[in-house]
Structure 1
Amino acid sequence: MADLYKEIGNDSDYGSINDNSSAQTEDPQTSAPSPSPMTRHQYIVFCGIALAYFADLTSFSLIAPFYPIEAKEKDLSPVMIGFVFSVFSLVQFLSSPIFGKLLPYVGAKFMFLAGSWVAAGSNLIFGVLDELEPGTQFLVFCLVTRCVGALGASASVTAATAIIAHTFPDRTGQMMGLLELFCGVGLMVGPALGGLLYSVGGYKLPFMVLGAADTLVVIINIFLIRSSEGMESKTKGSMLAVAKIPAVWVIALTCGVASTGMGFLDPTMSPHLKEQYNLSPVFISLVYILSGSAYAIATPLWGYLSDKKRITRTLIVFGLTGGGVCFLFLGPTPLFPQVPTDQVWTVIVTVGLGSLLLGCAIVPTFIDLLNTAKWYGLPDDISTQGIVSGVFNSFFSLGAFVGPTVGGVLQQHYGFPWASTMVGFMFVIMAILIVLFGFWEYQCGKGRRRPPNNDLTRQVSVNYFGSEIDDTEENRGLLS
Structure 2
Amino acid sequence: MCGIKLQKNLTLVTESTVATRQSTFGQGSSDNWTKSSDSQLPAITQLSPIKLKTRDFILIATLAFINTITGAAYCVLAPFFSKEAEAKGLSPSVYGILFSIQEVIAFILCPIYGKFLPKLGFRATILTGTFVGSAGICLFGVLKWVSDGSTFTTFCALIRSFGSVGLAAVSAACYGAIPVYYPNHISQIFGLVEMCYGIGMIIGPLLGGWLYEVGGFDLPFFVCGALLFLTFPILFGIFPKVAKITKNDKSAGLIKVLSNFRITLQILITVSLCIVFGFNQSMLEPHIRSFAKLRTTAVGLIFLLSGLFYGVFTWIVGLIVPKFKDLTFMSIIGNVAMVIAFIIVGPIYPLPIKPSITLVVLSQIFYGMGMAVCFVANFTQAMREKDLSDLKSDVGAGSIISSLFVSAYALGTALGPIIGGYLVEHFNFPEACVFIVLLSVFLIILIVGTMLFHKRKPFVDKSAQFKNRVEPVRY
Taking structure 2 as the reference length, the TM-score comes to: 0.78
Q: Structure 2 vs 1, CA of residues 369 and 65 (structure 1 numbering), >3 Å: closer, same or farther? A: same
Write the letter of the residue equivalent to 1:399: G
The CA deviation at 1:298 is: 0.7
Kindly indicate whether the alpha-carbon contact (under 8 Å) linking 2:139 and 2:159 is maintained by their aligned counterparts in 1: yes
Which residue of structure 1 lines up, in the alignment, with residue 333 of structure 2? Answer: 318
Q: How is 1:29-428 mapped onto 2 (pairs within 5 angstroms)?
A: 36-68=50-82, 78-130=92-144, 134-229=148-243, 232=245, 234-275=249-290, 278=292, 280-281=294-295, 283-334=298-349, 341=354, 345-379=358-392, 383-428=396-441
The CA deviation at 1:344 is: 5.1
Moved over 6 A (4+): 1-4
Write the letter of the residue equivalent to 1:245: N
The CA deviation at 1:427 is: 1.0
Q: Structure 2 vs 1, CA of residues 390 and 36 (structure 1 numbering), >3 Å: closer, same or farther? A: same
Q: Structure 2 vs 1, CA of residues 407 and 66 (structure 1 numbering), >3 Å: closer, same or farther? A: closer
1:108 & 1:2 partners in 2: Cα distance? 23
SS at match of 1:280: coil
SS at match of 1:57: helix
1:201 & 1:347 partners in 2: Cα distance? 28
The CA deviation at 1:128 is: 3.4
Q: How is 1:3-22 mapped onto 2 (pairs within 5 angstroms)?
A: none
* Deviation sequence 1:92-141 (CA, Å, 0-9, x none): 11221111111122112211221112101222333334456735444333
1:435 & 1:336 partners in 2: Cα distance? 28
Write the letter of the residue equivalent to 1:103: L
The CA deviation at 1:72 is: 5.8
2:87 & 2:104 partners in 1: Cα distance? 25
The CA deviation at 1:201 is: 4.3
1:88 & 1:380 partners in 2: Cα distance? 34
2:350 & 2:88 partners in 1: Cα distance? 43
The CA deviation at 1:448 is: 5.7
Q: Structure 2 vs 1, CA of residues 317 and 172 (structure 1 numbering), >3 Å: closer, same or farther? A: same
Gaps of 5+ in 1: 9-33, 450-480
In the alignment of these two chains, the number of paired residues is: 416
The CA deviation at 1:44 is: 0.6
Write the letter of the residue equivalent to 1:104: P
1:308 & 1:214 partners in 2: Cα distance? 36
Gaps of 5+ in 2: 5-10, 13-47, 460-475
Write the letter of the residue equivalent to 1:424: V
Kindly indicate whether the alpha-carbon contact (under 8 Å) linking 1:315 and 1:364 is maintained by their aligned counterparts in 2: yes
1:421 & 1:217 partners in 2: Cα distance? 41
The CA deviation at 1:194 is: 3.2
1:344 & 1:195 partners in 2: Cα distance? 18
Q: Structure 2 vs 1, CA of residues 410 and 78 (structure 1 numbering), >3 Å: closer, same or farther? A: closer
2:395 & 2:238 partners in 1: Cα distance? 19
Kindly indicate whether the alpha-carbon contact (under 8 Å) linking 1:287 and 1:348 is maintained by their aligned counterparts in 2: yes
The CA deviation at 1:163 is: 0.6
Write the letter of the residue equivalent to 2:280: L
The CA deviation at 1:353 is: 1.9
1:51 & 1:440 partners in 2: Cα distance? 41
1:133 & 1:335 partners in 2: Cα distance? 40
Query: Greater CA deviation, 52-61 or 124-133?
Result: 124-133
* Deviation sequence 1:425-457 (CA, Å, 0-9, x none): 2212212111212233216xxx469xxxxxxxx
Q: Structure 2 vs 1, CA of residues 414 and 205 (structure 1 numbering), >3 Å: closer, same or farther? A: closer
